[in-house]
Amino acid sequence: MAEARTLDPSLLREYDVRGIVGETLFADDAYALGRAFARVVADRGGSRIAVGYDGRISSPELADAFASALVDSGMTVLEVGLGPTPLLYYATKVRGADAGVQITGSHNPPEYNGLKFMLNGEPFFGKDIAELGEIAGRGDFVDGTGAREWIAVMPEYVEALARELDLASNIRVAWDPGNGAAGAATQMLKKIAPGQHTLINAEVDGRFPNHHPDPSKVENLEQLQQAVRQGQCDLGVAFDGDGDRIGVVDEEGEVLWPDELMILFARDMPGVGNKAPIVADVKASKLLFDKIAETGGEPIMWKTGHSLIKAKMAETGAQLAGEMSGHVFINDRWYGFDDALYAACRLLRIVAARNISLAEFRRNLPEIFNTPEIRFECPPDRKFEVAGEIEQRLADDPDSEVITVDGVRVNTPQGWWLLRASNTQDMLVARCEAYDAEGLEQLKEQLADQLALSNLKIPAEIEPAAQALTTSQGT
């Protein structure tokens, strides 16, 4: 009979479980979470759970503890082994599993790790995550004698990816998995995919010796940019630590941001000319929403968070969704989960089939001016209150249209600015986007004024004298 275990409250996040191994996350926690999750799966009539893990040093031990807990609860464990999170999602879909769990620290530093869940084909997050902690704390487990079954699904997954590349025989691509869990898949893909493929940092190494595995940061794309330029490639793609977020550079080595990519993907959706819904998170450029509408699609602005986006896709029947963090979800010829490897193959197919120059595509987009994503600390008892205060203050302002999908996104004659609470940290997240440099400064001042009125410290990036300006197309 397993004992109850109280989990560190910082482990239970909105979208997943995440902690520092040896400080807030231990193998005993993974075991307790496995017992708790088995309770939930059993209560919903399930018994088959796929389990995979990423390339972090701590992942095999955590995965073994979690799988052991499932077996002790009477579950059948389908062991996917080492691979990217999309491989786990794929295995859950094609092998008839009732649930799937990936042991992964995603894009975080090496000392972090955690768990991502899915159940009955749907994301498992929010109150479901909190419930796992409650079940573990009560020791309200089910007992049984289950089994562990190895499933070799990686070759099948890679072959499915390669089917998108039948038109890409002349394409030249540089790939950077960042020593993350997508490394083995990219090596297998290189052997069977048409075209010329250059791999860097493809050996799985949970220490991430070459750069941090987060393609949303420009500094983590420098090696890829160099490889593209030296190899005269048509484009380069990068992945985060568990392969569910993508980064892209064009043939000139310049970054193509996720909302720019979404414009290309939107044009490739079969229903886009007939009011097909396409979902993007609240941080995305106005340019993306405008371009979706121009091509005949129905743009839907939604909350940030991969689990929230997947739930919105299911609700609306959307074929495509994306986030500024690099999660891309495609539900046309694929399964609707966030899969950076599939997104990369789909992009290669678009480039080859349409003979598109990504650099030319980028330059032809309207020029806009914006800040990067700005994150700054905020007391936990205040971070969800500030948006409501701003909404009230701007209610009667004729020059401000306030959108409250996730925090406040304020449209003004100069452009828009955003302030939202992070669901995973005691922080606020801000962003400004304008039509010209002068307008950007005005937006930063408006945001700074609102923060001051709520008695919050103004981050340096949006102080009047700050130089957070970046110029891009669709960033």
Report the pLDDT value the prediction gives residue 372, as an integer from 0 to 100.
86
352-373 confidence digits (pLDDT tens): 988 889 999 999 999 999 998 8
Give dist(CA 220, CA 214) in Å, integer.
Answer: 7
Structure tokens at 366: 């309207």
Structure tokens at 164: 């998108």
Residue in 247, 216, 225, 473 with CA at minimum distance from that of residue 363: 473
Give dist(CA 215, CA 245) in Å, integer.
Answer: 7
Is 106 among the catalytic positions? yes
SS3 state of residue 398: coil
Q: Are residues 52 and 103 in contact, defined by beta-carbon separation less than 8 angstroms?
A: yes
Is the predicted pLDDT of residue 469 greater than 90, yes or no?
A: no
Q: What angle do CA 297, 302, 307 make, to 5 degrees?
A: 115
- Tokens 């479901």, located at residue: 128
147-206 confidence digits (pLDDT tens): 999 999 999 999 999 999 887 778 999 999 999 999 999 999 999 999 999 999 999 999
Q: Are residues 132 and 103 in contact, defined by beta-carbon separation less than 8 angstroms?
A: no
| Structural domains of the chain, with CATH | 9-152 (3.40.120.10), 156-364 (3.40.120.10), 368-472 (3.30.310.50)
Q: Are residues 404 and 387 in contact, defined by beta-carbon separation less than 8 angstroms?
A: yes
117-161 confidence digits (pLDDT tens): 999 999 899 999 999 999 999 999 999 999 999 999 999 999 999
Contacts of 349 (CB under 8 A, 6+ apart): 164, 165, 166, 167, 168
Q: What global pTM score does this model have?
A: 0.93
6-26 confidence digits (pLDDT tens): 999 999 998 899 999 999 999
Q: How confident is the model at residue 425 (pLDDT cuts 50, 70, 90)?
A: confident
* Catalytic annotation, pick one of 106, 216, 285, 325: 106
Q: How confident is the model at residue 465 (pLDDT cuts 50, 70, 90)?
A: very low
